[in-house]
Amino acid sequence: MIPRRFSRAALLALGLAFAASPSLAADPQTTENSGEAMLEEVNVVSSPIIEGNRVDSFANETTTVTKEQIWDLNAPDLTSALRRTPGVTISRFDNIGSFGGAEGGAIFIRGKGASRPGAEISVMIDGAPAYISVWDHPLLDYLSVDPAAAVTVYKSPQPMNFGNGLAAVDMTPKRMDHEGFSSRVTAQYGSYNTSQETAETGGKIGRFDYYAAQSYRYSSGSRAMSDGMLTSYYGRLGYGLTDNWNAHATVIRTDNYAMDPGPEGQPEERDGKYVTRDWHMVATLANTYDCAEGTLKGYWNRGEGNWFNQSGKDNDNTNDSDLYGVRAKEKLRLWQGGEIAFGADMDWISGQAEFTTDPELTINSLTDWSFTPGGVTHFDRMTWSIFSPFLGVSQMIGSKEGFYATPSAGLRYYGHSQFQSEWSPQAGLLLGYKDLELHGTYSRGVNYPGLNVAVFSQNVISSLGQNWRSLKAETMDHFEAGASYKYENLLRFDVTAFSDNGHDRYVMYPSSGRPTGFENYGSYSIWGLETTATYTPVKDLSFFAGLNAMGHTPKYLPYVPNLSVSLGANYRFLEHFKIAADAQYVDEMYVLSETRRVGTRNTEKVDGYWLANAKFSYFFTIPKPKVETELFVAVQNLTNTFYKYKPGYPMPATGVSAGVALTF
C-alpha cells in the first residue's frame, strides 16, 4: 500500500516542477544548455562510485561524491551515498532512515567516528556544522542527499579546511550556474513498500539565481517495525553584486523518523522510534578575484533528536540543539606561486534535553510489593563557544608544465569557553612532474568534549560529578604520504599511506568505586594504505576500483576492517541504454559504539561480506515540450547476500525498484 503522504508529496513534486513555467517556455537552445546543470550530456557517463580525489596546495587530500554518483548509486541517504567510498565504513538498521546516531545510522572514516556519546567526525552543510549538540555527534538524517550537488569527505585533520574534528564531511547544496531554467521530477517504487519521489527547479537570470527542491522517501522495511521516512525541503536565492562579489542564502528543512526492529527473534528488545527534525540556514557573502577568493558565512542550525518509547525503564528522551556562528576564510595569491590562507570560525554550541522514565510496579508477594512512579528530569540549556582562527602559507617553486615543489605550513588556534586552549599545526610538501604528483603532510587534529559530558554528569550518571570541567581536548597526530598520476582523460590513479595516533581520549570511570568521573585516558593507532583508480577507455564507458587496507591497536577498535574493496562501472550503449553497477567487499570487523568507559572493549564482530548492485536505464526525449526522460530499474543486493552491520540485525535481501526521471 502506498502511503497517503506519498501521494500528496508526488502532487507537490509535479506542482513544483511545472511551477517553473519559464523552463517550458524557453527557446530550445536555452533549455538544452540549462539542462546540462542537472543531467549529464547524453553521450558521456560519469565516474563510478566517486568523482575523484583532490590534493590542494597545502597537501590536503579530499574525496568528492557528486550528485551524478548519488543518482547512479540510487542512494536515498548519506550512508548509501558514501558506503562504497574507500576508507568509509557505515552502520544502519533500516532500508530508509537512520535510527539515532550510532549503530542505527552512522559513517566512520578510516576508523574515526565510533565513540559514543560524542564523536570524532565533523559534519557540515555548506561549510556550517549540522549535528546534535546535546550528544555531540552527527544525526545523518539532518543531511538529506537530495539538495546535494556534492559531498566532500575529509579523511584526516585539515586545520586549513575545518576545525574541532579528526575527519569531516561537507555537503555542498545545489545551485543553478548556467543562464536559463531547468526542472526535474523523479519517482520510484520498490521492494518493502519503498516509495520515493523528488522534485527540483532552478533558474538563473543575469545576476539572479534561485533553486528549490523537495523530496519524500518511505519504506515499510524488510523486518517488522523497521519502517522509516525521510522528507526534505530546500531553497536558495543568490545575487551577483558585482563581477567579483556575490551573496546567497540557503535553507534546508528535514523531517524524518526511523524505527528499531530489535534483535532478530527478540521483539521485546526493540528500542522505540527516533525522530529528527532540522532547520539549516546559511547566508554567504563571497568574493572571487584573480588574486583572491573567500567567503563570509553566518549560519544557524536548529535541530531536534527525539527518542521515544525506549526499552527498559527509560521512556522518552527529547533534545533541542542550536548551532550558530560566523565563519570566514580568504585565500590571497599576491606573488607568483604563493598563497596565503587565513580566516576564523566563531561557533556557539547550545542545547537542552528532557528525560522521562516509565512507572515501575514490582510484586514479590501480596504483602511485598513496590511502585515507583515515572519521572521527568531536565538538562537546562547550556551554551558553549569555540573561537578558532587559522593562518597558512604555501609556495610553488617551478611550474606544473615541468617539475615543481610546493612546501606549506599552517596553524589553527582553539579558544574554548570551557576547556583549555589548543593549537593545531600542519605542514605539507607537494612534488610533481607534469602528470605525476607526490604529496606528504603532517597535521594535528583537535576534538573537544561536547555538551554530552555535562548531560551525562547531570542526568545519566550523577556520580560522575563535575570533574568533566577538568577535561582537555582529544588530539591526533596524522601522517600521510601519497602519489597521483593522470594520463590524459584515460586513467587516474591515486595511492595514499597514512598513520593516525590518537591521544587523550576522554572516558568515564565505572559509576561505583574509586576513582569516579571523567578522565583523558585512552590512546590508539590506525594505519593503512588506500588506492583508487578510474579508467575511461571511451567516453561511454568508465571503470573504478578502490582498496583500503588498515591495521590498528588496540585490536578491538570498531569499524576498522582490515580490508575493503570497491568496484564500479558505468556503460552507456546503443545510444539509449545505460548500466551503472557496483560491488563492495568489507572484511570482518568489530562493531558497536566505542563506549567511553575505562576497562571496556568491543567484543562483538560481524562477518565479512560481498555486495553487488546495479541500475539499468533507458533514455529517450519527448519532443514537445522537450522532456528528457529516464526509465530505470535498480537492484540492490544482486546476489542475495546475508550480511549484518550489527549482530542480530540482518540487512535486506535482494530488493528491486523501478522509476522514472523527467528533466524539463
Q: What is the pLDDT of residues 144-175, one digit of tens each?
A: 999 999 999 999 999 999 999 999 999 999 99
Structure confidence at residue 102 (pLDDT): 86
Structure confidence at residue 8 (pLDDT): 54
DSSP secondary structure letter of residue 85: S
Q: What is the pLDDT of residues 180-196, one digit of tens each?
A: 999 999 999 999 999 99
d(CA 604, CA 601): 9
The residue ranges of every structural domain in the chain are 4-663
Q: Which residue has the cell 568489530?
A: 590
d(CA 92, CA 80): 10
Query: What's the rounded mean pLDDT across residues 614-640?
Result: 96
DSSP secondary structure letter of residue 457: I
Above 60 in pLDDT, residue 617? Answer: yes
| Number of neighbours of residue 644 by Cβ within 10 angstroms | 16
Among 447, 448, 388, 452, CA closest to 419:
448
Query: What's the rounded mean pLDDT across residues 427-451?
Result: 97
Structure confidence at residue 18 (pLDDT): 45
Above 60 in pLDDT, residue 663? Answer: yes
Above 80 in pLDDT, residue 34? Answer: no
For 164-211, the three-class secondary structure string (H helix, E strand, C coil) is CECEEEEEEECCCCCCEEEEEEEEEEECCCEEEEEEEEEEEECCEEEE
Q: What is the pLDDT of residues 523-560, one digit of tens each?
A: 999 999 999 999 999 999 999 999 999 999 999 999 99
pLDDT above 90: percentage of residues in the chain? 82
Structure confidence at residue 493 (pLDDT): 97
pLDDT above 70: percentage of residues in the chain? 93
Above 50 in pLDDT, residue 127? Answer: yes
**Residue of higher predicted confidence among 360 and 332:** 332
What would the grid cell of residue 581 be? 553497477
Amino acid sitting at position 615? K
Structure confidence at residue 36 (pLDDT): 38
Query: What's the rounded mean pLDDT across residues 574-600?
Result: 92
d(CA 309, CA 271): 7
d(CA 567, CA 328): 38
Above 90 in pLDDT, residue 390? Answer: yes
Per-residue confidence at 35, pLDDT binned at 50, 70, 90? Answer: very low
DSSP secondary structure letter of residue 29: H
pTM for this model (two decimals):
0.92
Above 50 in pLDDT, residue 360? Answer: yes
Q: What is the pLDDT of residues 269-309, one digit of tens each?
A: 999 999 999 999 999 999 999 999 999 999 999 999 999 99
Structure confidence at residue 30 (pLDDT): 40
Per-residue confidence at 4, pLDDT binned at 50, 70, 90? Answer: low
Structure confidence at residue 210 (pLDDT): 98
Structure confidence at residue 511 (pLDDT): 61
Which CATH code fits 4-663? 2.40.170.20
d(CA 499, CA 426): 15
Backbone angles phi, psi at 16, to 5 degrees: -65, -40
Query: What's the rounded mean pLDDT across residues 574-592?
Result: 97
Q: What is the pLDDT of residues 227-260, one digit of tens each?
A: 999 999 999 999 999 999 999 999 999 999 999 9
Q: How far is residue 344 CA from its own chain's centroid?
A: 23
Among 32, 285, 15, 25, CA closest to 179:
32
Above 50 in pLDDT, residue 19? Answer: no
Structure confidence at residue 5 (pLDDT): 55
Structure confidence at residue 513 (pLDDT): 59
Above 60 in pLDDT, residue 623? Answer: yes
Query: What's the rounded mean pLDDT across residues 488-505?
Result: 96
Structure confidence at residue 43 (pLDDT): 39
Above 70 in pLDDT, residue 10? Answer: no
Structure confidence at residue 462 (pLDDT): 83
Structure confidence at residue 200 (pLDDT): 98
List, in sequence order, every beta strand (DSSP E) within 242-395: 245-259, 273-288, 292-308, 314-332, 338-357, 360-363, 369-372, 376-395
Query: What's the rounded mean pLDDT across residues 201-215?
Result: 98
Structure confidence at residue 37 (pLDDT): 40
Query: What's the rounded mean pLDDT across residues 587-592?
Result: 96
Helix (H) or strand (E) holding 8: helix 4-19
**Residue of higher predicted confidence among 508 and 390:** 390
Mean pLDDT of the chain: 92
Amino acid sitting at position 241? L
